[in-house]
Chains A and B, each alone.
Chain A
Amino acid sequence: MIDQLRQRARELLETGQAAVVIGYGERAGDGRPVPLFVTQPAETARLVFTPACVDNLARYLTRKDVQALGRPALVATPPTIKAVAVLVQENQLAADGLVLIGVCCEAPGTAGTACALLAGATLAELEAEVAGRLRGQELTEAALARVAALEAQSADERWAFWEAEFARCIRCYACRQACPLCYCEQCIVEKNQPQWVPSSPHPLGNTLFHFYRAFHLAGRCVLCDACAEACPMDIPLGLLNRKLAREVRDNFAYEAGYDHTAPPAMASYRSSDQEAFIR
């Protein structure tokens, strides 16, 4: 599989279909997967793909310095493909503005499991493959068990839980920087007229930041967990995103990342949308 991947990457660079291949390489010393930007055909030999390759590389598509390299080819896992779909929906990318090399593995994060290239070439084809694998799997009862457990607690208990979690937050913004959908040139925390969110790493500021971010991702988050993986303090950010994703699914019959042609849930309405909350 890796030979095919490298060969595909090489072809794309040699034929000029892509100016850069964004994929995974291996860190010197311990082989940890790291994001890799390949612009020379000979360098495609450095590309790897293993179950440990979980960074969401779509993150780099909205970076100006990466865009300056030219048309990208992206080694894209299913969550990455979903993120691309949302970026296209939000007019950050054109669907044909990049080449996608779809990849997947049976159990991401579990060493030794099989990896393969996805068959699809266009975004639409890859979306279909991704839907086949993931749709209906992500917001199951099992996947939401921890969310449900929290919801069963009292408001005070839930507040105490999150207060303890956010007390560890150091406002490094690794979560935001790792997220493919946090691409604002100036994040709300960086605005100071007025200062909507305190920049200070105290419990109030931290809580507000994470709540704002979760709400700004509602209906957009593709549940890739890049944020939770990036967090150096092990804050379970995925719980916030999953809860809101479930709300959007249950109330608007919408899940982000499966159809780049669909109107985004939070930027559109249907006449069938419920209005029970308007009293």
Chain B
Amino acid sequence: MASENIYLPYLMTVERVLDETHDVRTLHLRFQDPAAAEAFSFRAGQFGEYSVFGAGECTFCIANPPTRNGHIECTFRKAGRVTKALRDLEEGDTCGFRGPYGNTFPIADWRGKNLLFIAGGIALPPMRCLIWNCLDLREDYRDVTIVYGARTVGDLVYKQELAEWDARPDVRLLQTVDPGGETPDWKGDIGFVPTVLEKAAPASENTIAIVCGPPIMLKFTFPVLDKLGFARSNVYTTMENRMKCGLGKCGRCNIGEIYVCKDGPVFTAEQVGRMPAEY
């Protein structure tokens, strides 16, 4: 950016609006400045501060993969003031974006390994960026397994892409919904993600696990991965915390000495295990 004002956002145009579920929406955003689009680059795991002028900013990951650059996708659920304003945006409207911020998934280190992606509900977006990134570099990796679940069939996000992943012979996809969340024609599993994971018992040998989900899901998934023999340094996650500036100054997102926006948001389960209980 030409300006040295680190708080100045890029101006983005809403190119497409897609409803993933009844309360989850994806926005496709295009840079208004072609030079910015050209210069923009990011890596999987990074996030940005999305804003509606007049409502404020909020923090989401960048949901499209770096291999499909030049625009930004953002998936969110309406929860508060800013997400409500984002939801009210229509095609052609302008919003703001600051980023990319944070550290990244070390996908180069994972070459030659099996990848196990585990996600729950609205936590699929940060994972989706990473999954497509790896699938776009498919030969770098061995077996790819995706375990994804939501409360109900209606709550599954990226249904289109789930279908694409399901159809691929080089990806093993396990979809599940919570007991009671199935529809009559549901063909996937029924059960909580940690349970389905344990049943599927993917091999931990030479495998990297990446887990993303609500705290309750993580709480029950980490022990399953332990049981399956995953070393905690081979299990990755992205943490969320209340953020404002996204760049290490406003003092809001720290967990102990760790700034989620600077030292994270990508952490190994081993690092999370060493964090004090204030997240």
B-binding residues in A (CB < 8 A)? 192-193, 195
Contacts and interface: CB of A to CB of B under 8 A. Distances in A.
Contacts of B219: none
Nearest to B56: A192
Interface of B: 56, 80-81, 84
Contacts of A192: 56, 80-81
A192 B84 CA distance: 12
How would you classify the secondary structure of chain A's contact residues: helix, strand, loop or mixed? Answer: loop
A176 B194 CA distance: 46
Contacts of B84: 193
Contacts of A195: 81
A193 B82 CA distance: 9
Nearest to A192: B81
The 7 closest A-B pairs by CB, nearest first: A192-B81, A193-B81, A193-B84, A193-B80, A192-B80, A195-B81, A192-B56
Best-buried of B56, B81, B84 by chain A (most CB within 10 Å) = B81
A193 to B, nearest CB: 5
Nearest to B85: A193
5 contacts: A192-B56, A192-B80, A192-B81, A193-B80, A193-B84
Nearest to A194: B81
Nearest to A195: B81
A257 B147 CA distance: 62
A193 B80 CA distance: 8
Contacts of B81: 192-193, 195
B18 to A, nearest CB: 25
A104 to B, nearest CB: 43
A195 B56 CA distance: 11
A17 to B, nearest CB: 36
A165 B80 CA distance: 34
A193 B55 CA distance: 10
Nearest to B82: A192
A198 B81 CA distance: 14
Contacts of B56: 192
B206 to A, nearest CB: 48
A39 to B, nearest CB: 25
Contacts of B80: 192-193
B174 to A, nearest CB: 39
B78 to A, nearest CB: 11
A192 B81 CA distance: 7
A172 B56 CA distance: 22
A60 B278 CA distance: 25
A137 B180 CA distance: 67
A193 B84 CA distance: 10
A188 to B, nearest CB: 15
A268 B140 CA distance: 74
A192 B79 CA distance: 12
Nearest to A191: B81
A227 B127 CA distance: 50
A195 B81 CA distance: 9
A98 B81 CA distance: 40
A195 B84 CA distance: 14
A37 B37 CA distance: 60
B45 to A, nearest CB: 29
B208 to A, nearest CB: 40
Contacts of A193: 80-81, 84
A211 B81 CA distance: 25
A195 to B, nearest CB: 8
A195 B80 CA distance: 12
A187 B56 CA distance: 20
A193 B56 CA distance: 12
A279 B81 CA distance: 39
